[in-house]
Amino acid sequence: MNDPAISCDGIDKQFDDTIAVRGMTFELQRGELLSLLGPSGCGKTTALRLIAGFETPDTGRIHVGGQEVAGPDINLPPERRRVGMVFQDYALFPHMSLRGNVAYSLKNGENRRVDDLLDLVGLSGLGSRMPHELSGGEQQRGALARSLAAEPQVILLDEPFSNLDAALRAHVRAEVREILRAANATAIFVTHDIEEALSLTDRVAVMFDGAIEQIATPRDLYRRPATRRIAEWLGNANFLPAESSDGTVECELGRLQSEKELTGPVDLMVRPDWLTITTAATGNGVVADRIFYGHDQLIRVTFDTGTSVQVRVLSDDEFLPGQSVTVGCQGPNVVFPRREPNGDASPR
Amino acid sequence: MAVSNRAFEAPGPPQSSAPTARRVPLLLASLASLVGAAVLLPLVYLLVRAIQGGSAPWESFLRMRTVETLLATALLALAVTAATILISLPLAWLFARTDLPRRRTWLILAMLPLAIPSYVAGFAVIAGLGPQGFVHQALETIFGLGGIPGLTGFPGALFTLTVISYPYVLITTTVALTRIDPATEEAARSLGAGPWRTFFTVTVPQLRPALTAGGLLVALYTLSDFGAVSLMRFNSFTQVIYTQYQASFDRSLAALLGLLLVLLTVGILFLERRTRGKARFYRSSAGTPQRARLIRLERWKWPALIYCGAVIVVALLIPIGTLIYWSVRGVGSGGVNPGIWAAAGNSALASGLAGIAAVAAALPIAAFVTRYRRRFSSVLEGIAYSGYALPGVVLALSLVFFAANYAPIVYQSLFLLVFAYVVRFLPQAFGSIRASFLQVSPRLEESARAVGRGRFSALKTVTIPLIRPGILAGGALVFLTAMKELPATLLLGPTGFQTLATQIWSATDEGFFAAAGPAALLLVALASLPMILLFPRMQETR
């Protein structure tokens, strides 16, 4: 079977007069991990509930493991979709032991399988505990084991780490990733945490106002955002006014190669960590101020034109306000059409 | 973070607001102990009396086929509990989970039968559904169905008690259904369970505490009921005790039977504790609680409405219709019995005194158990709630014996009647006042002390004003429940002291339905007032 584990094709969903999901289209291969990243209220939870079968799409088709589960003529109930779900609050059955929870979808006598699953999520020995006797992280791994037991084609995880202590989160995240990899599971994470999406999954789908704006690997998303709003949302960004022609851009940093075929006035997006800074008697800018963070420091440099950029460098060298410096760039030189004239994107 | 993991909680000040090291004020401790001792008196004397009787009552006990009665009573309690759960579960589900039109109105209507005292319901069943009742007459004139026997005995008691006590299960179940984490049900669905399997393996087990709590109230209500079973001529335990007391001079036997009934009650309470299991039912989410999406009834809307309508007709409209029918007939044939106003006055007097006394008795205990966490506090708390386990007949009986032997001066006095009411209904006043004490931080009182107020001044100016709503609610609840109490009033009331309750009972017992009607209507109207206190809780169910 070479069918994708899951595919969504032009899914729309509207509640009363608010559009929750618009034209959602994507495919996910077996074993792949995808994040659905977006600010709260962007429709990502609705997207998950549509796939799981708790909501019915207005238009579009959903295939799971090659089988159509939702479409114009079909709408399978959740229990027949082979889609697993791990809820934000884990939703372990409070009246059953951990074992009972994991065994819920299994036939009697599959004790070995329960043992294997508990082993996989690192909870062997805790099977007789009740959910309230488990820590948050343990409850979550329990919920994951319960989902895996049903051998779903795809597992959906709704804000799975939001209920965990910040100190614990990174650790549990790594654990969950390992478990899913070990089980060769296909999974979709819904999250509003950028760091989580970038560090956890193979691909990230960024969602705004019910529509997916870009699907890419975390690295591409960070380095080559498709839109200005993704660029701004994913991390600090400087926007420099520039002129683009014939695959090059002309700006305060000089003439640079550009990847996009745009001609005319543009904004060049450079992240502070792509910029380099060196002391020079007659540089192209002057240090305006600096913020020291320990591992690195953020330096604001003002050019002759009055435009300023933020530069992130390691804390080895000291730069003093008023010092003349030269700023260079080593980034992928992403350009967007010029945003005029309020210019709130480029710090002046 | 509400996840149940202590290890990750930040260390903070201890959760409990009750200081353990503080010295207990002597006056408060003595007052609380005094009330506790007084409340225990009937139970202790019952025990003494049963032991003193020696072996003689045991012999008559075995002759009397008491075991049979005990089993029949237990069977009735079981049957009523099962029937109330069967009626309430679908209702609760409709009210909490579906788009049934006018859910709130239905819920309030469905709760109202709780306000009907058991002997009034009994009266309504006999006068309404009996051979002389209007339902029978209607069936006979319209359909020509004559001679259908009226409901009496076990089926009659089962029907009457079910109809007035199912709201106990309904309210606990409806609230629980709205509180279950809907994600657990969705999880079951995505694990491959269909709607029915999900309902029975995930929803119902999570409802168990609510069903048990409601069912427990129903079972205790049935065990202690005297009015309905007597009118239905069903030989339940309370009925046998009462007859035994009326008929014989050997009162040790009655005491022994009473003690057995208390033991049965305590046994059921104990059983409930044991079956609670180790599951905890709460959500561990820190996010906004998800509300279950309402299920669209669509073509099931009409069957659902018919079911709700049928319950309301049988449990509310027929009984109230009967009361109105006989009241109108009574007024039509010679006006209202003039005794009704004297009876209403007596009811108000005795219940009013009981309300005030119950509040006065509950205050020191509530202050003590909420402010000073000692081992003694939980003992006191148990004593304060013991009235629930003491059926009215048994309580009254014990007090009659005690007064006749040791305090003839209070025998057949209003004082003794009010005392019985206080013991029986102290749990209601205590529960309400305790809850409001818990909402007042002891720090407030300490602040008043810190600016120079004395202990009593601080209590008067800070705590009492803050718990006033709880005091008023508790007092009102006792007032309105005491007004309905029948067996204690029958046994302990001063000679010739007629209340609404006794008047309705004797009139119904003798078949003077027209005389019972107006008093019953008045009593039901008064008794539905505490329902207003329940409404804030019902808000939670949308």
Measure A104 CA to nearest chain B CA, in Å: 8
For the stretch A16-74, pLDDT in tens is 888 899 999 999 999 999 999 999 888 899 999 999 999 899 999 999 999 999 999 99
Of A77, A80, A93, the CB nearest to B202: A93
pLDDT at residue B421, as a whole number: 92
In b/e form, how buried is each residue of B65-98, taking b as 16+ CB within 10 angstroms?
Answer: ebeebbebbbebbebbbebbbebbbebbbbbbbb
pLDDT at residue B21, as a whole number: 46
Q: How far apart are CA B405 and CA B468, in angstroms?
A: 40
* Share above pLDDT 90 across residues of chain B, in percent, rounded to a whole number: 14
pLDDT band with cut points at 50, 70 and 90 for residue A280 = confident
pLDDT band with cut points at 50, 70 and 90 for residue B57 = low
Instruction: Find tokens 């069912």 and name the residue.
Output: B215
Of B5, B181, B190, the CB nearest to A78: B190
The whole-number average pLDDT for the span B153-172 is: 90
Label residue A343 exposed, middle or buried (CB < 10 Å: 0-12, 13-18, 19+): middle
Q: Which two tokens stand for residue A231?
A: 């660029």
For the stretch B410-446, pLDDT in tens is 888 888 899 999 999 998 888 888 888 888 877 887 7
> Which residues of chain B lie closer than 8 angstroms to A52, CB-CB?
186, 190
For the stretch B278-307, pLDDT in tens is 555 544 443 444 566 777 888 888 999 999
Torsion region of B192: left, alpha or beta (phi above 0 gives left; psi -120 to 50 gives alpha): left
Whether B186 sits inside 8 A of A163 (CB atoms) is: no
Chain B residue nearest residue A86, CA to CA: B187
Q: What's chain B's length in residues? A: 542
Of B468, B95, B84, residue with least CA distance to B305: B95
> Which residues of chain B lie closer than 8 angstroms to A87, CB-CB?
183, 186-187
Chain B residue nearest residue A150, CA to CA: B191
Strands (DSSP E) contained in A116-168 are 154-158
Whether B1 sits inside 8 A of A163 (CB atoms) is: yes
Of A55, A69, A54, residue with least CA distance to A8: A69
Per the CB < 8 A criterion, the answer to whether A49 and B187 are in contact is: no
Whether A52 sits inside 8 A of B190 (CB atoms) is: yes
Whether B280 sits inside 8 A of A150 (CB atoms) is: no
Query: Strands A33-37 and A203-208: what pairing?
Result: parallel
Question: Is the confidence at residue A273, as pLDDT, over 80?
Answer: yes
Measure A329 CA to nearest chain B CA, in Å: 43
Q: Which positions 124-153 of A are in contact with B (Cβ < 8 Å)? A: 130-136, 139, 143, 146-147, 149-150, 152
Q: Which two tokens stand for residue A263?
A: 């001609």
Measure A30 CA to nearest chain B CA, in Å: 19
Q: Which two tokens stand for residue A44?
A: 């990502």
Q: How far apart are CA B314 and CA B83, in angstroms?
A: 14
> Phi/psi at B498 (nearest 5 deg)?
-95, 130
Span of A135-139, B227-231, B459-463 with lowest mean pLDDT: B459-463
Whether A165 sits inside 8 A of B8 (CB atoms) is: yes
Report ipTM for this prediction: 0.81
Most confident by average pLDDT, A204-208, B284-288, B480-484: A204-208
Of B8, B191, B195, the CB nearest to A105: B191
Whether B194 sits inside 8 A of A143 (CB atoms) is: no
> Phi/psi at A267 (nearest 5 deg)?
-110, 130
Measure B282 CA to nearest chain A CA, in Å: 8
Question: Is the confidence at residue B6, as pLDDT, over 50?
Answer: no
- For chain A, give me the number of helices (H) and strands (E)? 8, 21
Instruction: Find tokens 């294997």 and name the residue.
Output: A116
> Phi/psi at A161 (nearest 5 deg)?
-110, 5
* Share above pLDDT 90 across residues of chain A, in percent, rounded to a whole number: 50
Most confident by average pLDDT, A141-155, B242-256, B408-422, B506-520: A141-155
DSSP for B346-393, written as a single string = HHHHHHHHHHHHHHHHHHHHHHHHHH---HHHHHHHHHHHGGGGS-HH
> Which residues of chain A lie closer than 8 angstroms to B210, CB-CB?
none
pTM comes to 0.78
Angle between helices B66-97 and B301-312 (to 10 degrees): 140
pLDDT at residue B150, as a whole number: 67
pLDDT at residue B189, as a whole number: 92
Whether B285 sits inside 8 A of A163 (CB atoms) is: yes
Which domains does chain A possess? 6-229 (3.40.50.300), 238-333 (2.40.50.140)
Q: How far apart are CA B250 and CA B255, in angstroms?
A: 9
Sign of CA dihedral A62, A68, A69, A70: positive
CA atoms within 13 A on the CB side of B43: 20
Q: How far apart are CA A111 and CA B252, in angstroms?
A: 60
pLDDT band with cut points at 50, 70 and 90 for residue B540 = very low
What is the Cα Rg of chain A in Å? 24
Whether A163 sits inside 8 A of B7 (CB atoms) is: no
Per the CB < 8 A criterion, the answer to whether B93 and B202 are in contact is: no
Angle between helices B26-52 and B251-275 (to 10 degrees): 120
Measure B97 CA to nearest chain A CA, in Å: 15
pLDDT at residue B335, as a whole number: 57
Measure A162 CA to nearest chain B CA, in Å: 9
Whether B1 sits inside 8 A of A132 (CB atoms) is: no
The whole-number average pLDDT for the span A243-254 is: 83
Q: How far apart are CA A85 and CA A59, in angstroms?
A: 23
Measure A102 CA to nearest chain B CA, in Å: 10
Instruction: Find tokens 């009241």 and name the residue.
Output: B327
Per the CB < 8 A criterion, the answer to whether A210 and A42 are in contact is: yes
pLDDT at residue B2, as a whole number: 34
